Amino acid sequence: MATLVGAVTTSHVPAIGRAIAKNLQADPYWKPFFDGWPPVHRWLEQVKPDVAVVFYNDHGLNFFLDKMPTFAVGAAPEYRNADEGWGIPQVPAFRGEQDLSWHLIESLVGAEFDVTSCQEMVVDHAFTLPMALMYPSQDWPVKVVPVCINTVQFPLPSAKRCYALGEAVGQAVRAWRSDARVVVLGTGGLSHQLDGERAGFINKDFDLAFMESLLHDPRWATQFDSRQLVEKAGTQGIELLMWLAARATLGEKVRSVHRNYHLPISNTASGLMVMAPAD
């Protein structure tokens, strides 16, 4: 059976892509952010995953407001990105792990999740930038399975439902008949709001409490409904739902491998965590 080696959770701010493209990693503004990543690279070298399951939210590149599934799973042979208007260059195509994709889809439907199956899919910065941060050479040594969660248009899935989704994905990965090693990636957040009267809103105290809860009380955030989470983390801070789903794949107990928190990056609180199943 497949082995779930751990989870990485990280922000996906579009400006990160521009910083990578312009080689600004050592710039004083960006250095505290990029300095958080070498421990992740060392960990990836140690655990050597073959596949990445990526929880992310689409911002209008593949899904728009006229067709916005709550949960969608990619089942394509490859995934490409496109120009989103952020000045982010295109990256090499990602190879899909179709056998795991269909196994996940069948398992999730069997667990009574109504997922949209996507045999063609483009992926936006929420997918490509975290992958580029994990693998700066962009040679993509892993195959991928995208799992898209709606955080754009109400009604949103609840934190409790997203946690349950992650649990189901974790169970399915461990039941997959393969000797592959699988890493889970959850992208988005942390607290930020890009529009309205609270534009620029950041809640450091909530961010740090949320990050700590993922280690010791992973269901802590499920006590809040979507509107409460928006109030605490900002309109776009609701992207923490992907962190919850990623954390839930690992089971009840985890150990902390690495953490970093930095603000602001383009009016966003940037978080980074690596968690592994408890020994």
pLDDT in tens, 199-219: 878 899 999 999 999 999 999
Which pLDDT does position 12 carry in this prediction?
A: 93
The H or E element that residue 102 is part of is helix 98-110
* Type of residue found at 59: H
Are the C-beta atoms of 240 and 271 separated by less than 8 Å? Answer: no
Residue 146 to residues 50, 117, 149: CA-CA distances in angstroms? Answer: 15, 11, 10
Which pLDDT does position 192 carry in this prediction?
A: 78
28-33 long-range Cβ contacts below 8 angstroms, 24+ apart: 30/265, 32/262, 33/262, 33/265, 33/270
Helix (H, G, I), strand (E, B) or coil at 67: strand
Residue 155 to residues 52, 109, 134, 158, 225: CA-CA distances in angstroms? Answer: 28, 21, 32, 9, 11
Confidence of residue 189 (pLDDT cuts 50, 70, 90): confident
Between CA 62 and CA 45 the distance in angstroms is: 32
Q: Is the dihedral of CA 265, 268, 270, 276 positive or negative?
A: negative
Confidence of residue 198 (pLDDT cuts 50, 70, 90): confident
Percentage of the chain lying above the pLDDT 70 cut: 100
Between CA 135 and CA 117 the distance in angstroms is: 27
| Residue range 67-86: mean pLDDT, rounded | 92
The residues carrying an active-site annotation are: 125, 192
Confidence of residue 63 (pLDDT cuts 50, 70, 90): confident
Helix (H, G, I), strand (E, B) or coil at 2: coil
Instruction: Say whether pLDDT at 266 is over 90.
Output: no
CATH topology of domain 3-277: Protocatechuate 4,5-dioxygenase; Chain B (3.40.830)
Q: For the chain, what are the domain ranges?
A: 3-277
**Helices 226-233/240-248 angle, 10° precision:** 120
The H or E element that residue 32 is part of is helix 31-34
pLDDT in tens, 138-156: 999 999 999 999 999 999 9
| Residue range 182-198: mean pLDDT, rounded | 89
Mean pLDDT of the chain: 94
pLDDT in tens, 117-130: 999 999 999 999 99
Instruction: Say whether pLDDT at 83 is over 90.
Output: no
Confidence of residue 223 (pLDDT cuts 50, 70, 90): very high
Instruction: Say whether pLDDT at 85 is over 90.
Output: no
